[in-house]
Amino acid sequence: MSRILTLARLNLTQVLKDRTGLLTLIFVPLMLTFIFGSVMGGGETRVPVAVADLDGSAQSREIVSALDETSYRITRAGDTEAAAMAASGEAAAAVVIPKGFAADVLGGVDTQVRILKDPRSTASIAIVEAVTGRVQRVAANAATIRIVQAAFRDASAATGAHYAPAPPTDIYSYADRLWSPDPPLSVSDVPVTVSKVRGAATQAMGFQQYSMGFTLMFMMFMGLGSAGGFLDEREQGTLSRLLTTPTSRTELVAGKVAGIYVTVLFEAVIMVGFGAFVFHVPWGDDPLGVVMILATFGLATTGLGVMISTLVRTRGQVSAMTAVLATALSMLGGSYWPLDIVSPAMRTIALMTPTGWAMTGLTDVVVRYQGASHAVLPSAVLLGMAALFLLIGVARLKLE
């Protein structure tokens, strides 16, 4: 076992030393994920809003806080610039809060918050609703000031004594505190998320589709390309020299295969990590299912690479086969588009490929939240493919 692990570690070290190839296998898939994900709807998910806060007061900031920054991309601007952004479509709407807004609110003077929007934009509807809700809260607090002041005036008139109300800012703050943590009137928000499981028609979109697809595609590139190392070492005589050592043929083959498998998993970790933490791709909430599929797909890819390396004669042929086969299997298997949008015949063909089974499993686990149980069948099929490919490859493998 120690010899097998040593050979596997050596193979990974060789991959890491090839900085040009390593950069290609990391930078290219990430660049493709970004380009395809952005073009196909996986880019900016926040609604752009231009905000012209001409008052800069606590009350005006309260209006702006209605636009949650996780849902809205806020650009601060002057009123003219904000209006221009809304008119050009650069922003879904422009929120303009006039100068003296707080003084008017506290002093009982009618004032308005303007929202400039494109009537054709559906995103602007949410902006209007969010700002209107917060304006109503500010208006209620301002009405409280008027009520308290009127009550003190009535009490003074009825008793002949002078009763001075608290300053308007204090009354406003007191009224505003009554909204938190529970407002006097509220809507019961009952999310329909007892189960996250989504229907079989739910498809991966944007970054999620291409993060999964290109992860599989470049795992295959890594597996097929790394398996070409058998040809390199056989031509250089490295394999035959290793057989003169206490290392047996079984240990040598197992170590080399394990090394290829480790490099494939290394590619998977890079792609999933960047997808999750850089592109913010949701990889589901069942890591076990994801690990099962990626681990077995890595084995199938490794086995396919070993088998291909025994069917060709030169490293150049391996490179050509890698480019053609990895791209073709990825396209057939759904790396570039969801399998649900292709014909039944093409879906049948997809399930003849390792990529098709892996994408099917990942879609069920990651996109549809159907749990690790839906990773069992794809993982079993991928294990079967891996066993078949490795059996053929090892049987045909020549070390000398």
Model confidence at 197, pLDDT cuts 50, 70, 90, reads low
Q: pLDDT at residue 84 above 50?
A: yes
> Is there a contact between 124 and 112 (Cβ–Cβ < 8 Å)?
no
- Band of pLDDT at residue 241, cut at 50, 70 and 90: low
Integer-rounded Cα Rg, in Å, for the chain is 32
The answer to whether the beta carbons of residues 132 and 112 sit under 8 Å apart is no
Max CA-CA distance within the chain?
A: 114
pLDDT level of residue 382 (50, 70, 90 thresholds): very high
Q: Alpha-carbon distance 204 to 397, whole Å? A: 39
> What are the structure tokens assigned to 286, written together?
């069942």
**pTM, rounded to two decimals:** 0.59
- Strand-strand pairing, 47-53 and 114-117: unpaired
Query: Are 141 and 110 in contact, with CB atoms under 8 Å apart?
Result: no
Find all residues with CB under 8 Å of 223, minimum gap 6, and list them. 260, 261, 263, 264, 298, 301, 302, 304, 305
Q: Parse the chain into domains and list their residue ranges.
A: 2-41+206-396, 45-177
Higher pLDDT, 107 or 42: 107
Residue among 243, 346, 260 at smallest CA distance from 299: 260
**In angstroms, rounded to a whole number, what is the distance separating the alpha carbons of residues 273 and 262?**
16
Q: Indicate if the pLDDT at residue 24 is higher than 70.
A: no
* pLDDT exceeds cutoff 70 at 196: no
Q: Are 339 and 350 in contact (CB under 8 A)?
A: yes
Specify which residues 97 forms β-bridges with.
53
Per-residue pLDDT at 204: 72
- For 127-138, how does the pLDDT look when each residue is reduced to its tens digit (9 = 90+)? 888 888 888 888
Residue 53 has a pLDDT of 93
pLDDT at 273 over 80: yes
3-class SS of residue 330: helix
At 234, give phi and psi (nearest 5°): -70, -40
Q: Quick check: 371 and 286 in contact, CB under 8 A?
A: yes
Q: What is the pLDDT of residue 97?
A: 92
pLDDT (mean) for 301-307 = 89
- 3-class state of residue 129 by DSSP: helix
Do the beta carbons of residue 247 and residue 3 sit within 8 Å?
A: yes
Write the CB contacts of 191 (distance below 8 Å, at least 6 apart in sequence).
none
Residue 280 has pLDDT above 70, yes or no: yes
DSSP state, residue 50: E
Q: Which amino acid is residue 24, in one-letter code? A: T
Q: Are 394 and 309 in contact (CB under 8 A)?
A: no
pLDDT at 328: 92
Alpha carbon of residue 160 to chain centroid: 69
Give the confidence band of 188 by pLDDT, cuts at 50, 70, 90: very low
- pLDDT of 192 strictly over 50: no
Mean pLDDT of 70-89: 87
In this model, does residue 38 exceed pLDDT 90? no
- Render the burial of 371-385: b for 16+ CB within 10 Å, e for the rest: bbebbeebbebbbeb
pLDDT band of residue 298 (cuts 50, 70, 90) is: very high
Task: Among 3.90.1150, 3.30.450, 3.30.70, 3.40.190, name the CATH number for the domain at 45-177.
Answer: 3.40.190
